Chains A and B, each alone.
Chain A
């Protein structure tokens, strides 16, 4: 397992079947339990993927998003891409050519740069409030 700052890169197993998924989940689940997990699944070694593999990836994404985090895919082979498209989950994941690119995409807008105390709608309604006052 490689770490790159707060973003964790997980190497996916060659066989993403039921057995492979069980082992992999044991590794990844503790990471998903932290606050704002930011995970990159490196798929460069994946040679086989089945329903269990796709379900596991969706489960991980769901868990990460529940905790305000995200999960991205990297180095998908054309075969894996076709499988994900066939199963209609390709558009659910953000995918990148390399793990580095995936990590950089997390760092594009650092979490620290986003003000945590102001609600996202604050600015908009603030301006509307000003407009109402003016009228």
Chain B
């Protein structure tokens, strides 16, 4: 049996003898989502953390525990998975995960995957597990060509209770052969969208490719006089009004509304955002009423709700699995408080 401990923390381990990734602010706090880590932000229809959980499931991991720190400034509450996940909270996510790992010695697990979701990587879990077995060491850690990544495979038989196995043992180095994006800033998020749409990484848009390079989620409404130029992505329940132009690797995530005549070029509109009439959104990330222009590195808070605002989608019947309960026509677009 394989099990996994997934850590949602903004910072890497403080006392890390292998020199882990530097503790950077991984949140989009300045983009207004109350400090949501970038890994929890929807990218081409599904967040990086949800994609990781899917990958773990596909790799044969049966038990997944997600650790979040109570004291963490950020939160990642909306993780949608078809199979159950154990959500745990501790004083800090790392402390909880380390404690949990130490208690895994006698659980009968063949291997335990420990990962802090800090970025996106194309990792073949089965290949990593084979490498781990071949090396015969207690801990294997993933590396890219630059630095160590926060991804370990631990042999539970080698765990000594009371010791921090991740820092106590020299790990075998597993070099990730594929794409790695550390998502250290919103510019990396945008790069991930572009790389996903241009097939430079394994992250595939969640939806149907209606024509080459154009992906649409479920229940999207694109006006027949709107133009979507490939590659582009329109997420679930999103609406694109008449005379709009969506182009140059732009993504309109779920439940967004791009209003009449607006041009979205080389930009990402994050989920639940309203973009007003006749605007020109270029080289930017839009999140509700916040706009981050990546070209000029400028963040603007738009106070006029007619220009940009956060859409709040009500959830019917307490169904937290589905932010879009039914057809777009039933979704009430409410201005956030």
CB distance from A92 to the nearest CB of B (A): 12
Q: Give a binary string over A66-86; 1 marks a CB under 8 Å from any B CB, 0 the rest.
A: 000000000000110111011
Instruction: List B285-337 residues whose CB lies under 8 Å from chain A.
Output: 291, 293, 296-298, 300, 303-304, 307
| CB pair A79 B300 closer than 8 Å | yes
Does B281 count as interface, using CB distance less than 8 angstroms? yes
| CB pair B280 A51 closer than 8 Å | no
Does A50 count as interface, using CB distance less than 8 angstroms? yes
CB distance from B263 to the nearest CB of A (A): 8
| CB pair A82 B280 closer than 8 Å | no
Task: Pick the residue among A78, A79, A85 that contacts B280 (CB under 8 A).
Answer: A85
How far is A51 from B281 in the complex, measured between Cα atoms in Å? Answer: 16
**Interchain Cβ contacts within 8 Å, total number:** 29
Does B278 count as interface, using CB distance less than 8 angstroms? yes
Q: Give a binary string over B262-293; 1 marks a CB under 8 Å from any A CB, 0 the rest.
A: 00000000000000001111100000000101
The residue among B278, B282, B300 with the most chain A CB atoms within 10 A of its own CB is B300
How many B residues are at the interface, by size bracket? 10 to 19
Interface size, chain A (Cβ < 8 Å): 11
| CB pair B279 A82 closer than 8 Å | no
| CB pair A79 B279 closer than 8 Å | no
* Given A87-B279, A88-B278, A88-B279; A82-B291 close (CB under 8 Å): yes
Q: Kindly list chain B residues whose C-beta atoms are within 8 Å of the C-beta of A86.
A: 279-281, 291, 307
How far is A85 from B264 in the complex, measured between Cα atoms in Å? Answer: 12
CB distance from B281 to the nearest CB of A (A): 7
| CB pair B296 A82 closer than 8 Å | yes
* Given A50-B303, A50-B304; A78-B279 close (CB under 8 Å): no
By a beta-carbon cutoff of 8 Å, the part of chain B in contact with chain A is 278-282, 291, 293, 296-298, 300, 303-304, 307
23 A-B pairs with CB atoms under 8 Å apart are A50-B303, A50-B304, A51-B304, A78-B293, A78-B296, A78-B297, A78-B298, A81-B296, A82-B291, A82-B293, A82-B296, A82-B300, A83-B300, A85-B280, A86-B279, A86-B280, A86-B281, A86-B291, A86-B307, A87-B279, A87-B280, A88-B279, A88-B280
By a beta-carbon cutoff of 8 Å, the part of chain A in contact with chain B is 50-51, 78-79, 81-83, 85-88
